[in-house]
Structure 1
Amino acid sequence: MQRRIKIFLPGLVIIFTASVLSILLSCRKNPPQNYREVVLYCSVDQAIAEPIIAAFEEQTGINVLARFDTEASKTVGLVQRIRAEAISPIADIFWSNEIFHTIRLARESLLATYVSDATKDWPSLYADPNGQWYGFALRARVIGYNTARVAAGEAPKCLEDVLDGKWKGRIVMAAPEFGTTGGDVSSWFAHYDLVRATETLEGLKANGIRLVAGNSTAVRMVATGQADVCFTDTDDVYAAQRNGWPVAMNYLDQGGDGALAIPNTAALIEGGGNREEAEELMDFLLSEQLEKMLAGSDSHNCPIRPVLAEQFKLYAIPKLLGVDYEKIADRLPMAIQTAREILR
């Protein structure tokens, strides 16, 4: 009798497990009638984006299936995925922490046109002329420095300052292939010219600049004394300061003409399967509520709405570089290739 029980129990376990799996799979294949979802590709830092996504889900009842990328392949990984899935898109919407790759996706006809009440009167500087993407919530390029090793008065205040020989062996920046660094380098080619931008890269090489995996890594190296200054973004310095690290920043001014501001962008994916839900998420991303949440987050993005910008003026970018984002996107592949050849 005891032997029969021992044989019978494992059989019950197998049957029970199979039944549970069958129920779960059935629910997956046949969701409730009122179930709604949207697939989001997001290059904004996950810790920043998740509370915002949760707020949208709570307000709308729409489930957001979010895919994030890594610091080392920031934005580029998701951009490559969108290209690879062009014939049969998985994503419905792309929320990027930068603008340059978004512009290039629009040129490749991978983004859908979208116009709504939310996009009415959107500032032309931050809107695609065909309505394929919209920009909001700015960050800026900055020079981060270690306050225990570099006095505020001595810290470099513009791109040209970093070329001074006294910074030799003391500089780090993220590899230009990924994230905002590529767009920053490309802006040198757009703002100056080919000769001067190339000379700037050669000057950084002569000063022994080191390339690292990402902006946050560059800031961490400065904070721990492995470097004294770095090129990075405002949000990475704010994160360091929140952690109590000895890091401050000066805006990365280009020749006295201002620092590069980089907006978030939102865009619908051409051929995405959940259009209605994607449009609701799109309007949410372009809402005043979203900009307020980002300004109040650890990222402290600068709002493009004047009323919010005044409310969060502590995070205002003093002087915006007057450069055409389209021109920066034009030069992006060439700038990255040139930087790779010179700095490696």
Structure 2
Amino acid sequence: MSALKPTLFASTLLAVAAPASAEEVNIYSYRQPELIKPLTDAFTSETGIDVNVVHLKQGLVERLQAEGTRSPADLVFTVDISRLNAVVEADLTQSVESDVLNANVPDLYRDPEGRWFGLTTRARIVYASRDRVAEGEITTYEDLADPKWEGRICTRSGTHAYTVALTSAMLHHHGEEETRAWLEGVKANLAHPPEGNDRAQVKSIWAGECDISLGNTYYMGKMLSNEEQQAWADSVRIVFPEFEDGGTHVNVSGVAMTAHAPNRENALKMMEFLTSPAAQEIYAEANFEYPIAPGSTPAELVASWGEFTVDDVNLMDIAQQRGAALRLTEEVDFDAGN
């Protein structure tokens, strides 16, 4: 049995929302259209409820704020815990109570207050040169600051959401003093100032410009699916580092119900559908990510990258460190390089 528990802010304003259609659900999404279409099609086929998707590249929070109680959006799809938390902190989501959601989404991957729920995960890993980095040469995130990697690391901007999330996790495990030292150590080991995306770092390894890089697991799948980039992927192997007192850092793609959702019951049905093992496997396979519902399994290609131990920290605890992580990154002038 499922029930909704709107926040006080949401319940006050929902009363004046526009009348809801019984046959639709509306989504604002940062995810690419081709990644979520298989899911929306499957949901409509199963329920008869139409799904309307607005795909945004930026400005989701600002759009919801501007629309206020008149917003047609029922659900928000996005990636990265900091982006999910930004919608929560702006009071643009409502709490949802659902036995189905709680059964499908482990505690690590949902907000304790029910304001967002994870759908799939990706690990933040090391891409290591097959030719120049020996097996077992790097095993922890702390290793990245070891002087032996001087001039051998490539990474994207330290202020990018993916990098900030990893730094936030470092703060959670080690505190500010050690994290500052770690950032300074990694900066000293950079082959060149941070630039480009995760795939660009692997290209740099392929070109001999560096030996290891940070990246998300799913980029391996994307590179292998691209004729030009297959050679980049073949030049590296995936290494799953761990924190010295934890596991491998993961981030999440997730869904949240908007504060003024005009189609709340349909939105809940879709959330429960999305978190089902079958739907998560569809979503994860399309994105080269990991499904999180108990009993679900990753696609064969993703499983072939190896097993790892997930860092046992609720992602909301990581999100709370974001401000401090960004401040430290800027204070050490990480993006200036060494």
Structure 1 47/221 Cα, relative in aligned 2: closer, same or farther at 3 Å? farther
Structure 1 45/210 Cα, relative in aligned 2: closer, same or farther at 3 Å? farther
Using the size of structure 2 for normalisation, the TM-score is 0.77
1:341 to 311, 331, 336: 331
Structure 1 223/39 Cα, relative in aligned 2: closer, same or farther at 3 Å? farther
Q: Distance in 1 between matches of 2:120 and 2:241?
A: 18
1:336 deviation in Å? 1.4
1:41 deviation in Å? 2.3
1:49 deviation in Å? 2.3
2:96 to 114, 117, 121: 114
1:38 to 25, 36, 39: 25
CA contact (8 A) 1:219 1:236 kept: no
Aligned counterpart, 1:51 = 38
CA contact (8 A) 1:163 1:200 kept: yes
CA contact (8 A) 2:82 2:161 kept: no
- The AA in structure 2 aligned to 1:321 is D
1:239 deviation in Å? 2.1
Q: How many residues align?
A: 304
1:221 deviation in Å? 3.5
- Which stretches in structure 2 are left out of the alignment for 5+ residues? 1-20
Aligned counterpart, 2:295 = 307
Q: Give a deviation string over 1:217-238, Cα, whole Å, max 9, x none.
A: 3334334444332111111123
- Which stretches in structure 1 are left out of the alignment for 5+ residues? 1-33
Structure 1 173/68 Cα, relative in aligned 2: closer, same or farther at 3 Å? farther
- The AA in structure 1 aligned to 2:154 is V
Aligned counterpart, 2:318 = 328
2:258 to 261, 269, 293: 269
Structure 1 201/288 Cα, relative in aligned 2: closer, same or farther at 3 Å? same
CA contact (8 A) 2:126 2:215 kept: yes
1:198 to 166, 172, 180: 180
CA contact (8 A) 1:173 1:211 kept: yes
Q: Distance in 2 between matches of 1:157 and 1:248?
A: 13
Q: Identity of paired residues, percent?
A: 25
Q: Does 1:291 pair with 2:284?
A: no
Q: Does 1:187 pair with 2:169?
A: yes
Structure 1 219/310 Cα, relative in aligned 2: closer, same or farther at 3 Å? closer
CA contact (8 A) 1:301 1:315 kept: no
Runs of 4+ in 1 over 6 A off after TM superposition: none
Q: Give a deviation string over 1:174-199, Cα, whole Å, max 9, x none.
A: 22433322211111111111001110
Q: Distance in 1 between matches of 2:33 and 2:298?
A: 27
Using the size of structure 1 for normalisation, the TM-score is 0.76
CA contact (8 A) 1:171 1:210 kept: no
2:269 to 264, 277, 280: 280
CA contact (8 A) 1:146 1:228 kept: yes
Q: Distance in 2 between matches of 1:38 and 1:107?
A: 23
Q: Does 1:217 pair with 2:200?
A: yes
- The AA in structure 1 aligned to 2:238 is M
Aligned counterpart, 1:93 = 75
Aligned counterpart, 2:151 = 169
Q: Distance in 1 between matches of 2:115 and 2:288?
A: 26
Q: Give a deviation string over 1:103-125, Cα, whole Å, max 9, x none.
A: 34324422112233522434322
Question: Could you tell which deviates more after superposition, 325-334 or 274-283?
Answer: 274-283
Q: Distance in 2 between matches of 1:174 and 1:88?
A: 38
- The AA in structure 1 aligned to 2:282 is M
1:240 to 204, 207, 223: 223
Structure 1 310/55 Cα, relative in aligned 2: closer, same or farther at 3 Å? closer
Structure 1 307/176 Cα, relative in aligned 2: closer, same or farther at 3 Å? same
Relative contact order, CA 8 A, sep 6+: which one is greater?
2
1:204 is paired with a residue whose SS is helix
Q: Does 1:251 pair with 2:230?
A: no
CA contact (8 A) 1:173 1:231 kept: yes
CA contact (8 A) 2:28 2:75 kept: yes
CA contact (8 A) 2:25 2:74 kept: yes
1:65 to 34, 47, 52: 52
- The AA in structure 2 aligned to 1:304 is I
- The AA in structure 2 aligned to 1:234 is T
